Amino acid sequence: MPIRDRSERNTHLWHWPIIVYSKMFFNFSAGTRELVIVALTFGLAVASRYLIEIPFRYKLSALRSGGIVTASAAALVILGCSTFYVSHYQNHSGHFSDDALTLAKFSQYHGTDEYYYQFRTGSCFIDGNDASKGTYQREQCLKTSTTGRNYLLIGDSHGAHLWRSLSTAAGEQVNLIQATAAGCKPVIGQTFSNKCTELMNYIYTEWLPHHKLDGVIISARWLPQDMALLQTTLTRLKSVASNIVVMGPTIEYSEALPDLLAYQHDGRTDLVAHSVDQQIKGMDQRLQRLVSQQQVRYISVYNIVCPQDRCHALASNGEPSAFDYGHFTLSGADDVARQAIVQMHRDIFM
């Protein structure tokens, strides 16, 4: 079998221990960890091919069995002691503190009653790729008020996680309508079709042109490839709606934030700060320039969560601000919404 094939097979032996120990011993930043893992995986695969596999297969008679056993035993002892030190000595004999466990429980936030209350999953927030997650309820979710001011929130899951908090922060005189779906972005002109794109096309091409609103808010997990379609969407939207606001990307972490907070609480200093996706700041700045060129109001969620680049992983009540890589808990969304509404009041909630 060619050497290349054997080296590729050897990567399967190395990647899991490298992933595990890179998390245990090092606080790599988001992106850096992945590069280190890939480099070490292939480097060790090639090294083990020439230093272990070939000698054992073809030069076994020239090796001293006693030396092999001694070296292998020493390596296992060193690895075992290192693992024991980190997992038991540094972590209170392998047990998390009560405070750390309280933080970690928020990684199970998805599917709780508070999660459904926050997102309105299955009715006003649907999964565009999964028929089992409900159907968008137009009568309920697009109901306008005859006495208050009507605003529409269009978004994916990074719009849905803000709806409840924005609605509460805006006050009783504001009726915040919700049109959110996972599986696409809240833009016009997407080249695929599912329940999410069907909802977005309906909102932009059928519903909005026939309903007079006081404002529109667009929020999503924005990526570089979304820029062109967002620009097109804003151009068309301005012809049928006024007081448009785009909310920028949410801060993201390399792992679920509650887990990071739990490990950090029990000794992993600066783990959360090193796990922040540094690309979000650049995306926020690019998006702000694009939106400003369209003369549309922009709310930087990054600047709210990370004032002066110091990101707040805990909400004001002490709970994790997110329950996974970047979706806000209700308390985290409340903190963001209160500041966002203050900024929006300057232009649209008047």
Residue 254 has pLDDT above 50, yes or no: yes
Q: Is residue 63 over pLDDT 60?
A: no
Instruction: Using DSSP, state whether 317 is helix, strand or coil.
Output: coil
Q: 109-143: per-residue pLDDT in tens?
A: 998 999 999 999 999 999 988 776 689 999 999 99
Closest C-alpha among 154, 231, 147, 145 to residue 189: 231
Predicted confidence (pLDDT) per residue in 222-233, tens digit: 999 999 999 999
Task: Give the pLDDT confidence of 310-328 residue by residue, as tens digits.
Answer: 999 999 999 999 999 999 9
Averaged pLDDT for residues 32-37:
73
Among 39-43, 201-205, 332-336, the minimum mean pLDDT is found in 39-43
> Is the domain covering 103-345 a CATH 3.40.50.1110 domain?
yes
Q: What is the mean pLDDT of residues 156-185?
A: 96
Cβ burial, residue 334 (10 Å; 0-12/13-18/19+):
buried
- What pLDDT, on the 0 to 100 scale, is given for residue 267? 76
User: What span, in angstroms and rounded, lies between the C-alpha atoms of 210 and 251?
Assistant: 35
Of the candidate ranges 127-131, 260-264, 300-304, the one whose mean pLDDT is the lowest: 127-131
Inter-residue contact 164 to 125 (CB < 8 Å)? no
What is the per-residue DSSP string for 163-231? HHHHHHHH-TTEEEEEEEEESS-S-S--SS-SHHHHHHHHIIIIIGGGS--SEEEEE----GGGHHHHH
Average of per-residue pLDDT across 183-207? 95
> Region 287-316: what's the mean pLDDT?
96
Q: Which tens digits make up the pLDDT trace of 79-99?
A: 677 666 655 555 544 567 889
Give the phi and the psi of residue 248 in degrees, each rounded to 5: -75, 180
Contacts of 290 (CB under 8 A, 6+ apart): 227, 230, 231
Predicted confidence (pLDDT) at residue 176 exceeds the cutoff of 70: yes
Note the maximum CA span of the chain.
90
As a whole number of angstroms, the distance between CA 6 and CA 54 comes to 10
- Sign of the Cα torsion 237, 181, 223, 307 reads positive
Contact 181, 127 (CB under 8 A): yes
Local confidence band at 44 (pLDDT 50, 70, 90 cut-offs)? confident
Question: Token digits for 349?
Answer: 């909630």
The residue-averaged pLDDT of 63-86 equals: 68
Separation between Cα atoms, residue 281 and residue 157, nearest integer Å? 20
Domain ranges of the chain: 3-98, 103-345
pLDDT of residue 269: 80
